């Protein structure tokens, strides 16, 4: 037996999901049903938030990214573990 669910969701989220579903060739109902099945099977909802570093960590990451872009403070590429060990001993 099938039924209809009416839910409220963000308009942009709905449109983005519809666009992606169309791109991959699956109906929106499949996405919603899959989410509901997963919820029932796992008896859990996973909500993830992006990790946001604190000010000190952000400063360190910014410096590391600048160094990488400038090619600074990088070790060379090693072909063997022995090459790496020799490099570390120098």
Half-sphere exposure for 41 (CA within 13 Å, toward CB)? 6
Burial class (CB in 10 A: 0-12, 13-18, 19+), 31: middle
pLDDT (tens digit per residue) in 25-81: 999 999 999 999 999 999 999 888 888 999 999 999 999 999 999 999 888 999 999
The verdict on pTM exceeding 0.85 is no
Q: Where are the beta strands (DSSP E) in 1-90?
A: none
């Amino acid at each position: 037996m099938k039924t209809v669910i009416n839910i409220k969701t963000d308009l942009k989220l709905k449109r983005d999901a519809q666009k992606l579903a169309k791109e991959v060739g699956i109906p929106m109902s499949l996405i919603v049903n899959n989410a509901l099945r997963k919820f029932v099977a796992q008896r859990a909802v996973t909500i993830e938030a992006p990790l946001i570093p604190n000010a000190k960590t952000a400063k360190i990451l910014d410096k590391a990214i600048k160094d990488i872009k400038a090619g600074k403070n990088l070790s060379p590429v090693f072909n063997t573990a022995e090459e790496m060990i020799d490099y570390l001993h120098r």
